[in-house]
């Protein structure tokens, strides 16, 4: 791997490896390195459409064949190399006396994909493409019927395939000979779906074929944009523009990210998660009318949208240390607009549905994100704009708000409990089964509450509200005293995970306790810091993150696989979470502030993963058991964000 390039060599190593590129709107292109689709979410163009459509698979894939004197030869039978070039996917094919390169790029903030072929060596050759479609929302099952009729209109190198009620799929095919007299359909196998407990086959339809002579370069663009936008850039222009945009991203990033190859690659990977949502017309109209911008971050590809918790945890790593301060500002202002009953949303669904608010920690992470934003930017205007809303949040938590979230007047700690709801980040739920309810006073919720009170008291004091600042500071001190009196589990030498809840949950060794010393305002007494870090290191740390439960516990589940019931049963019962490397490194440096090399070694263990699963990024989770197979979302926002943030801290 050289700076800006990551190579995946012999095709024998490609099994189970995937690629993805994105467009800054939440849309993407993805598939296997071998040119197939293996998930129902995969597609060469998964467009982020306006409400109420959301992310829609508009073009599944292209069947690519070389027409040789001896017969047709599938292009991918000649594949010898895949690489990321500036984070962008490139394939190399060698055989039949030729060397061919294939590149895929999505112009930023367009639902357009360009596929380009370059003949690098050898004689000209005929290349035939067959586009395959199954237009549907990316989350829909594969048993969705095909659209009954796809009228096709061809004019001057422009092909328009009607996909009502979705937008038309437009193909820019100048230089290609179209044969639309050969429409067909087939049943496609999606290999990964069956292992996840879902239907693993579904129909695809093709309008016909496109054929051209590859002698130099050929390209095809697929888009749901207007013809004016879809054809504004040719493939070379789109590639050059995206490369330049990515060069600028790197130039703005923290020097520690530019100085290391893996950090630079993950800085480019972070770009995938920062997006402008198109499916919220009322919000967009109001914000734009006031001269502001709308921004958020995708929690994970290919199936998550934006979540309040993930966005706030990831904001520093995705936007602040990468120099994207305007996007960070717009993200905070966007979520401030969503505040309701003292809470920011837990989840903002992809489509016409309203936000949901059942979260005890996302709003507390909001305080932390605002604090880090102001520390990085000095933007007091945004703080002053949001501060009255944050004052309201504190009051609602003091007096009590939805889902049983509120301060217990007996000890000043924050409690949260509501039957049938999962309120912390350990949020797996199957039907009526809340897998890890954690009702009561969870350890990280109270660490976050103390941190929020501390930063709030400081902001109030800085703005001249002395009486209010003193009251909030007193609440923080009471919470700190109660926390240290109630959470230390002397027998285990670590912190209880929950107090005043299910007695069986209290003594569980969880990574959540790290927040008691990793946050800027640590609530835990310093005399316990080293012991907590050592216990977590010895019993939960793996090369790819922290286990959510130690492997010697009877409830431990070492594999995150199977159907949804099996997966959710393991989700927070031993499964490894990479994002927890962030608080672990913070805690490490709090205990051993001079040991930056040790902290970097913890993070450097992630390097082999960048060449597997979804190449060039970090997965959502890994199995608790060795060899710690990557699972879940192929690219997870807070996994990348916290690695980057921790790398800067350790540098």
Structure tokens at 358: 């059942």
CATH 2.70.98 in the chain, residue ranges: 5-245
The whole-model pTM stands at: 0.96
Residue 546, token pair as written in the block: 């922290």
pLDDT band with cut points at 50, 70 and 90 for residue 2: very low
Q: What is the pLDDT of residues 493-543, one digit of tens each?
A: 999 999 999 888 899 999 999 999 999 999 999 999 999 999 999 999 999
The fraction of the chain above a pLDDT of 70, given in percent, is 99
Mean pLDDT of the chain: 95
Provide CB contacts within 8 A for 293, sequence distance 6+. Answer: 276, 287, 326, 327, 330
Say if CB 62 and CB 44 are below 8 A apart. Answer: yes
Predicted confidence band of residue 10 (pLDDT cuts 50, 70, 90): low
In tens, the pLDDT along 124-140 reads: 999 999 999 999 999 99
Among 119, 240, 267, 359, residue whose Cα is nearest residue 618: 267
Alpha helix ranges (H) inside 361-509: 362-377, 380-399, 443-462, 466-486
| Reported confidence tier of residue 3, pLDDT bands at 50, 70, 90 | very low
Instruction: Express each pLDDT in 398-440 by its tens digit.
Output: 999 999 999 999 999 999 999 999 999 999 988 888 899 999 9
Per-residue pLDDT tens for 218-255? 999 999 999 999 999 999 999 999 999 999 999 999 99
Strand, coil or helix: 524: coil
Count of alpha carbons within 13 angstroms of residue 413, beta-carbon side: 25
Residue 1 pLDDT greater than 60, yes or no = no
**CB neighbourhood size of 285 (10 A):** 10
The string of pLDDT tens digits covering residues 589-612 is: 999 999 999 999 999 999 999 999
Pairwise CA distance, residues 80 & 83, whole Å: 10
Helix H or strand E encompassing 129 = strand 125-132
SS3 205: strand
Centre a 10 Å sphere on the Cβ of residue 590 and count the other Cβ atoms it contains: 18
Please provide the CATH number assigned to the domain covering 5-245: 2.70.98
User: What is the C-alpha R_g of the chain?
Assistant: 26
- Tell me the C-alpha distance between 349 and 649, whole Å: 33
pLDDT top residue among 5 and 515: 515
Quote the pLDDT of residue 353.
Answer: 79
Q: Using the predicted structure, report yes or no on whether residue 167 has a pLDDT greater than 50.
A: yes
What pLDDT does residue 146 have?
A: 85
Range of weakest confidence among 4-18, 493-507, 513-527, 573-587: 4-18
CA distance 581 to 93: 38
Rounded distance between C-alpha atoms, residue 301 and residue 203, angstroms: 23
Mean pLDDT of the region 189-210 = 94
Q: Are 73 and 3 in contact (CB under 8 A)?
A: no
CB distance 28 to 21 below 8 Å: yes
- CA angle, 353 as apex, 352 and 357 as ends, to 5°? 150
Phi-psi category of 201—alpha, beta or left, where left has phi over 0 and alpha has psi -120 to 50? beta
- Average of pLDDT values for 37-48? 97
Q: Per residue in 630-645, pLDDT tens?
A: 999 999 999 999 999 9
Q: What is the pLDDT of residue 479?
A: 99
């Amino acid at each position: 791997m050289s700076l800006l390039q990551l190579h995946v060599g012999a095709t024998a190593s490609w099994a189970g490896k995937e690629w993805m590129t994105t467009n800054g709107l939440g849309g993407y292109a993805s598939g296997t390195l071998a040119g197939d689709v293996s998930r129902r979410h995969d597609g060469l163009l998964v467009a982020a459409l306006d409400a109420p459509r959301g992310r829609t698979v508009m073009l599944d894939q292209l069947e690519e064949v070389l027409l040789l004197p001896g017969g047709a030869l599938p292009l991918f039978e000649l594949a010898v190399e895949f690489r990321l070039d500036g984070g962008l996917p490139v394939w190399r094919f060698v055989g039949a006396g030729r060397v061919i390169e294939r590149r895929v790029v999505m112009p930023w903030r367009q639902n357009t994909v360009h596929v380009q072929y370059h003949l690098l060596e050898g004689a000209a050759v005929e290349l035939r493409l067959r586009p395959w479609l199954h237009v549907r929302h990316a989350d829909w099952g594969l048993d969705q019927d095909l659209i009954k009729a796809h009228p096709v209109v061809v004019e001057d190198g422009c092909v328009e395939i009607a996909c009502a009620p979705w937008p038309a799929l437009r193909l820019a095919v100048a230089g290609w000979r179209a044969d639309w007299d050969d429409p067909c359909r087939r049943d496609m196998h999606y290999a990964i779906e069956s292992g996840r407990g879902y239907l693993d086959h579904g129909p695809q339809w093709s309008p016909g074929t496109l054929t051209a002579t590859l002698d130099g370069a050929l390209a095809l663009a697929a888009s749901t944009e207007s013809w004016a936008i879809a054809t504004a850039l040719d493939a070379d222009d789109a590639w050059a523009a995206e490369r330049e945009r990515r060069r600028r991203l790197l130039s703005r990033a923290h020097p520690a990210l530019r100085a290391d190859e893996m950090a630079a690659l993950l800085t480019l990977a972070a770009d995938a998660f920062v997006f402008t949502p198109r499916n919220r017309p009322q919000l967009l109209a109001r914000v734009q009318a006031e001269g502001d911008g709308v921004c958020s971050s995708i929690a994970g590809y290919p199936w998550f949208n934006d979540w309040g918790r993930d966005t706030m945890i990831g904001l520093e790593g995705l936007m602040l240390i990468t120099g994207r301060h305007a996007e960070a500002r717009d993200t905070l202002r966007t979520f401030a607009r969503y505040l309701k009953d003292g809470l920011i949303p837990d989840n903002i669904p992809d489509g016409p549905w309203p936000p949901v608010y059942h979260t005890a920690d996302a709003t507390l992470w909001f305080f932390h994100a605002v604090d880090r934003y102001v520390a990085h930017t000095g933007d007091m205007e945004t703080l002053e704009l949001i501060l009255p809303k944050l004052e309201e949040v504190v009051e609602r938590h003091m007096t009590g708000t939805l889902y049983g979230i509120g301060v217990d007047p007996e000890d000043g700690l924050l409690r949260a409990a509501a039957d049938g709801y999962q309120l912390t980040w350990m949020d797996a739920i199957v039907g009526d089964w809340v897998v890890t309810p954690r009702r009561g006073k969870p350890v990280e919720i109270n660490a976050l509450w103390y941190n929020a009170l501390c930063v709030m008291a400081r902001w109030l004091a800085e703005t001249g509200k002395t009486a209010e600042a003193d009251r909030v500071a007193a609440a923080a001190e009471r919470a700190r005293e109660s926390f240290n009196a109630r959470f230390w589990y002397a027998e285990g030498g670590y912190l209880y995970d929950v107090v005043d809840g299910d007695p069986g949950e209290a003594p569980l060794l969880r990574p959540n306790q790290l927040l008691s010393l990793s946050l800027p305002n640590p609530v835990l007494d310093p005399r316990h810091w080293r012991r907590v870090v050592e216990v977590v290191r010895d019993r939960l740390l793996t090369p790819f993150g922290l286990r959510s439960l130690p492997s010697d516990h009877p409830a431990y589940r070492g594999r995150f696989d199977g159907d949804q019931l099996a997966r959710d049963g393991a989700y927070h019962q031993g499964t490894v979470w990479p994002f927890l490397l962030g608080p672990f490194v913070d805690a490490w440096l709090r205990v051993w502030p001079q040991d930056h090399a040790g902290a970097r070694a913890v993070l450097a263990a992630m390097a082999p993963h960048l060449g597997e699963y979804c190449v060039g990024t970090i997965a959502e989770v890994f199995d608790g058991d060795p060899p710690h197979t990557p699972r879940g979302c192929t690219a997870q926002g807070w996994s990348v964000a916290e690695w980057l943030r921790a790398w800067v801290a350790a540098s």
